[in-house]
Amino acid sequence: MIRVFYFSPTGGTWQVAQHLGDRLGALLDAEVEYHSYTLPRERETLPQVEAGDVVVWATPVYAGRIPNKTLDYVRRALRADGNPAVALVTFGNRAYDNALAELVGLMEEGGMRPVGAAAMVTRHVFSDTLGAGRPNEEDLAELDRFAAQVAEKLSTINSQLSIIDVPGEAHPERYYTPLKTNNAPAGFLKAKPSCNSGLCTRCGECQEICPMGSIGEQDGLPAFDGICIKCQACRRHCPTGAIAFTDPEYLSHVAMIERTFAAPNQAEFFVAETIK
Ligand SMILES: Cc1cc2nc3c(=O)[nH]c(=O)nc-3n(C[C@H](O)[C@H](O)[C@H](O)COP(=O)(O)O)c2cc1C
Ligand code: SF4
Ligand code: SF4
């Protein structure tokens, strides 16, 4: 069984994780099960990894690392007994910094054997231009080649494999500091979305899909009262475009990354070496 675990507030990570899972399933002639840990209720019912399972763990990159508010959960959930595993991170064309090293490190600490690791460019949820159209055909063809290499390694899994050498630190001390257009740090940690009551149809969709369970209700309208990780799920899912982030520090950061990181970045892939 291939078990694909993924966190994907706006669907980019899910798209890539599903492509990789389906491909590995076909190559290994194995059943594939997908387990989202995006929503609070999903995090209560995640299955245990069993003997013989291959694990794919997929997460978006937030501020150069695994999203801060999911980190404790990932640390607890990534437990196995020598199962082979594939680490997958998605990033919005800026950089994945320490995220892949952090995920591979947590896999090793949780008793998994990382066989492959990949960083894929996806749309940056803050922007309509950054990473737009990614993954494209070329990215997916590269992901297919990676899946073939991983499948080949898995067929010789009893051989000794090297530690995968991915860039970055497994135990970074800090997160990437978002900057504004004037290069000063952008302080939008406390920013929250707002709702235009004239556009809101009170459908309740945003309340359902918030990964932090942070959207309540007041007089039929969404109330953003809990922790906000800026994942953009509410804004992107709202059918009428009623939700916006208007915080000036946030908007200045978005303008900065759109200007600085417009050139297409590349996906990167790493596969363990067979030692003997
Ligand atoms: C809070 C936050 C921080 C992010 N930080 C980075 C980053 O450091 N580097 C980068 O390239 N993309 C960054 N992104 C973009 C996401 O990694 C990218 O859009 C990802 O595909 C989102 O995954 P999803 O579509 O599964 O929600 C960030 C997105 C959010 C919401
Ligand atoms: S998803 Fe949009 S329209 Fe529906 S309740 Fe939320 S803000 Fe209103
Ligand atoms: S309120 Fe914040 S955490 Fe919740 S869906 Fe919206 S952006 Fe994400």
Same structural domain for residues 118 and 219? no
Question: Does residue 222 lie in a domain region?
Answer: yes
Sorting pLDDT into bands at 50, 70 and 90, what band is 275? confident
Predicted pLDDT at 159: 65
* Same domain flag for 21 and 132: yes
Residue 254 lies in a domain: no
256 in a domain, yes or no?
no
Quote the pTM value: 0.97
Q: State whether 61 and 86 are in the same domain.
A: yes
- Domain annotation covers residue 182: no
Residue 185 lies in a domain: no
Question: Is residue 201 located within the same domain as residue 228?
Answer: yes
Share of the chain above pLDDT 90, in %: 92
Same domain for 226 and 113?
no
Structural domain contains residue 187: no
What is the distance in A from the centroid of ligand 3 to the CA of 10? 10
Partners of residue 34 on adjacent β-strands: 4
Nearest ligand to the CA of 17 is 1
Which ligand approaches the C-alpha of residue 235 most closely? 3
Domain ranges, residue 238: 194-246
Measured by CA distance, the residue closest to atom 3 of ligand 2 is 200
User: 168 and 49, same structural domain?
Assistant: yes
What sign does the CA torsion over 201, 203, 209, 214 have? positive
6: Cβ contacts below 8 Å, ≥ 6 apart: 13, 14, 17, 34, 35, 36, 37, 38, 57, 58, 59
Indicate whether 12 and 55 sit together in one domain.
yes
**How far is the centre of ligand 3, averaged over its atoms, from the C-alpha of 173 (Å)?**
25
Question: Are the C-beta atoms of 55 and 27 separated by less than 8 Å?
Answer: no
Q: 187 CA to middle of ligand 3, Å? A: 17
Same domain for 161 and 237:
no
Ligand whose nearest atom lies closest to the CA of 97: 1
Specify the residue with its C-alpha closest to ligand 3, atom 5. Answer: 210
Q: Whose CA is nearest to atom 7 of ligand 1?
A: 63
Query: Quick one: 115 and 236 in the same domain?
Result: no
Instruction: Report the distance separating Cα 55 and Cα 48, nearest Å.
Output: 11
Report the CATH number that the domain containing residue 133 is assigned in CATH.
3.40.50.360
CA of 170 to the centre of ligand 3 (A): 27
Take atom 22 of ligand 1 and give the residue whose Cα is closest.
60
Average pLDDT, the chain: 95
Q: Is residue 19 part of a domain?
A: yes
Q: Is 215 touching ligand 3 by the criterion CB < 6 Å? A: yes
Q: What is the CATH number of the domain that holds 234?
A: 3.30.70.20
pLDDT digits (tens, 9 = 90+) for 55-100: 999 999 999 999 999 999 999 999 999 999 999 999 999 999 999 9
In this structure, are 144 and 198 located in the same domain? no
* Number of independent structural domains in the chain: 2
Residues 148-207: pLDDT tens digits?
A: 999 999 887 666 777 888 999 999 999 999 999 999 999 999 999 999 999 999 999 999
Domain match, 83 and 33 both: yes
Residues 73 and 101 in one domain: yes
Per the domain annotation, does 183 fall within a domain? no
Beta bridge pairs of residue 3: 33, 55
